[in-house]
Structure formats: structure tokens, C-alpha cells
């Protein structure tokens, strides 16, 4: 998700971006720019939260939500385990990419520019970032922490797998949720989702 802030006269805009492995310091910095960060790796994972899935089960008149949720957790954590190497690499790469944006572009002359770049690169410990990410992911997997998994793991195919668990085909779960949100019956679901979205300050 891409966001930007634009100020023209008295007009201003605010944005919401995916978590994308951002640390708390960056989250605070972006907030100061009126850019708010989701507490989930990507917006699609909002549909995978326990409260949303529970609401769906209720509307389907399913009385086996505990079973459904456990199957959903197994799918998400299983996919996260299978894609662990890719996840670790993407998170590490994202951290490195953001650190590279701190390059001192105001340095003057070839020598100063080269020195600035050298200091920046020398200060990025790739092995340490990768290992720290690995430790975090391993902890989530070992604890079977579903809530933390959907905060760090991005996989747009998960919603389709969860859809089948609830008896839907392909994208039918997403369509079912959309229908709920489009009428009065879905008002409680809107409130549930709002709890997972940063509250944009006026």
C-alpha cells in the first residue's frame, strides 16, 4: 500500500499504510507526518482476525467456531512455516531498504559522498537483522501465536484457503464479508474492523 501526505493551503491528507516490518520508532515518525500504520502486515489480514472470523461464523449459523478457528490457525502458521525463508528475507530486505533512505544526500564532493555511503553501509549489520527476525518468527511459530503471525506474515493467498474452511469457494468469503458490510446487518462488523485500524486524529 502506498501513501503520501499532501498539503495545499488549508487542505491536508492523511494516509494508512501496511505494517511491513516497520518498528515502533518508524511508526511514531510516520504518525507525526499524518501517516498511520496498520497493526497488521497487510490490509487483507484484517479479514483473518479472530473477531472477524467469529462474526462470519455467527452469520453462517455455525456452532463450531472453535474448530474453524483452529483450522484457520493451522493453515496460516503452516504457510508461514513453509515460507519462512522468504519471509525472513523480505522482512530483512525491508529493514535494510528503509535504513538506506538515511543516506546523506547533502554531502558535497565525491570524497564526502563516498564516505557517507561507506558509513551508512558499514552501519547495517545484515546478519544481525536477519537473526533478530528469525528469532521473532521462531517464537511466533513455537508459541503458535496466530495474532502475531498475521501481524508479520503477508500472503494474499491465505484468504482463499480460509474461505474453503468456512465452506466457501475461491473468493466467496471476501464477497460474503463485502455483502455484510454493505447493509445494516454488518454494522457490528464495521465496529470490529475499526478496532484494528489506527484512529486517525483530526
Q: Do the beta carbons of residue 13 and residue 33 sit within 8 Å? A: no
Three-state DSSP state, 44: helix
- Give the residue among 52, 127, 56 at the shortest CA–CA distance from 96: 127
Report pLDDT for 40.
83
Residues 4-54 have pLDDT tens digits of 444 555 556 666 666 666 666 776 766 667 677 777 888 889 999 999 999
Length of the chain: 202
Half-sphere exposure of 28 (CA within 13 A, CB side): 3
Residues 99-115 have pLDDT tens digits of 898 888 888 999 999 99
Residues 131-178 have pLDDT tens digits of 999 999 999 999 999 999 999 999 989 999 999 999 998 889 999 999
Whole-number mean pLDDT of the chain? 87
Amino acid at each position: 500500500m502506498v501513501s503520501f501526505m499532501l498539503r495545499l493551503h488549508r487542505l491536508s491528507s492523511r494516509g494508512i499504510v501496511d505494517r511491513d516490518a516497520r518498528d515502533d520508532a518508524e511508526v511514531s515518525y510516520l504518525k507525526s507526518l499524518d501517516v498511520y500504520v496498520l497493526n497488521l502486515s497487510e490490509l487483507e489480514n484484517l479479514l483473518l482476525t479472530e473477531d472477524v472470523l467469529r462474526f462470519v461464523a455467527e452469520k453462517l449459523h455455525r456452532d463450531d467456531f472453535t474448530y474453524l478457528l483452529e483450522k484457520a490457525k493451522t493453515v496460516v502458521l503452516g504457510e508461514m512455516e513453509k515460507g519462512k525463508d522468504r519471509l525472513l528475507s523480505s522482512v530483512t530486505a525491508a529493514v535494510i531498504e528503509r535504513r538506506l533512505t538515511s543516506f546523506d544526500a547533502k554531502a558535497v564532493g565525491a570524497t564526502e559522498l563516498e564516505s557517507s555511503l561507506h558509513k551508512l553501509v558499514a552501519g547495517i549489520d545484515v546478519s544481525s537483522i536477519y537473526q533478530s527476525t528469525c528469532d521473532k518468527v521462531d517464537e511466533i511459530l513455537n508459541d503458535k501465536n496466530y495474532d502475531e503471525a498475521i501481524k508479520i506474515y503477508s500472503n494474499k493467498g491465505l484468504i482463499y484457503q480460509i474461505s474453503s474452511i468456512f465452506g466457501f469457494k475461491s473468493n466467496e468469503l471476501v464477497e460474503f464479508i463485502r455483502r455484510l458490510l454493505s447493509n445494516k446487518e454488518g454494522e457490528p462488523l464495521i465496529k470490529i474492523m475499526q478496532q484494528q485500524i489506527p484512529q486517525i486524529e483530526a
